[in-house]
Amino acid sequence: MKLNKIQSAILISMLPATTFAAGLDRSGQSISAFLQPGNYAEASFSVLDPEVKGKDIAGNKVSDMAEDYYFPAAAVKVQATDKISVGLIYDQPFGADSQYAVEKSVFSETNLAERTNESTSVKVRTNNVTALIGFQPTENWNFYAGPVYQTVKGDVQLRGAAYGGYTKLGGYNIHLKEDDAFGWLAGFAYQIPEIALKAAVTYRSEITHDLDTTESFAFGLNPALKNLKSETEVVTPQSVNLDLQSGIAKNTIAFANIRWVHWDTFAVTPKYLNSLSGGNNLIDYTDDQWSASLGLGHKFSNKWSGSASVGWDSGAGNPVTTLGPTEGYWSVGLGGQYSPAENYFIQAGVKYFWLGDAQAQTGGNVVGDFEDNNAIAYGMKIGYKF
């Protein structure tokens, strides 16, 4: 079951990298590119198109509030010597894009100062660059570690009766200026190339950010509550990935991924929001995230391969924040790849998500129900063996 050098690199990577996972999790933080044999590079682009709708506590229809999400990623790995490898991986591990429609619901309201209709929205962006160095004492073992450079920024506006209207938090804006910080990862992998067996365990540390913050409140349009400056600590969570693959028949590989993310202690607590709302957080989660995917990859010919997978995500607690009102998912995915030559490929995939029903809450009070929602992800990748 020993595959040629490009097939061994691609059979487990034909599906879109982006997910609609628990908390703010997006990429899954894979390091599979670094574990490929020899010198290898890849670049990919994925699009997530979710639909998240429901009803508010007053019984009003809430239209689709989840924005499309675009996700680039890239990686390069160099086998510097027989025993030493180095690599760089870029991805966007965490993020959020939500925009409630301006409609009759508890998530939109008229701006009393400007006489315009506004609604609740959130935009969170992160970027990760992971540097890796690996040591392979034998053909079977690979021990690796390295630093992680991460940036985080965000903008949120709260509107409507869900947050008490303009007399409370319904006119709240926050800008979290981009901040950078460092973390680390470490792991090990074991492989038997003759049967395409590979197992890898990777730990990523939490990363602490102190973001310059600007908060504004309506509160009767009091000018003293505009552009309040502070710092907000945001700690992106630690995680563990377990990746497995094995040849099970001629030209066929089974693969699996299990991921744990430590969301249950995650909270974003801006200074003035916390003090003026009686101790509320802007975002928090109550449970850790567990996710798993299982699949098969098959080589049909020297130029064509395909894969299929099923996936599950536990979510990070329910009720959830109004800024991402879903609770886990089930998914199915299909992917295919064309290899014009043995050393490079072009790949595409699609994944469909059944999103878990959730109740949205603010300040401990349920303000909406979101049911029967879904998402679809598309992805393309180019890989090159050099």
pLDDT digits (tens, 9 = 90+) for 231-256: 999 999 999 999 999 999 988 999 99
Mean pLDDT of the chain: 91
Please report, for the domain that includes residue 176, its CATH number. 2.40.160.60
Q: Give 333-377 as a DSSP string.
A: EEEEEEEEETTEEEEEEEEEEEEPPEEEEETTEEEEEE-SEEEEE
In this prediction, residue 267 carries a pLDDT of: 93
Say how many domains are in the chain. Answer: 1
In this prediction, residue 14 carries a pLDDT of: 56
If residue 307 lies in a helix (H) or strand (E), which one and from where to where? strand 304-313
Band of pLDDT at residue 193, cut at 50, 70 and 90: confident
pLDDT digits (tens, 9 = 90+) for 134-144: 999 999 999 99
In this prediction, residue 12 carries a pLDDT of: 47
pLDDT of 10 over the 80 cut: no
In this prediction, residue 228 carries a pLDDT of: 96
Is there a domain that residue 2 lies in? no
Q: What is the dihedral angle through the alpha carbons of 56, 263, 29, 71, rounded to the nearest 10 degrees?
A: 20
Tokens coding 185: 């990862």
The pTM of the full predicted model, rounded to 2 decimals, is 0.93
Residue 54 to residue 63: CA distance in whole angstroms = 7
Q: What is the dihedral angle through the alpha carbons of 260, 211, 323, 149, rounded to the nearest 10 degrees?
A: -40
Domain that holds residue 254: 7-385
30's CB contacts (< 8 A; 6+ apart) are 17, 91, 241, 243, 257
pLDDT of 168 over the 90 cut: no
Count CA atoms within 13 Å of residue 321 on its CB side.
25
- How far is Cα of residue 61 from the mean position of the Cα atoms in its chain? 28
Q: Between 1 and 168, where is the model more confident?
A: 168
Count CA atoms within 13 Å of residue 386 on its CB side.
9
pLDDT of 209 over the 80 cut: yes
pLDDT of 4 over the 70 cut: no
**Span 194-207, average pLDDT:** 95
pLDDT of 303 over the 60 cut: yes
DSSP bridge pairs for 75: 42, 89
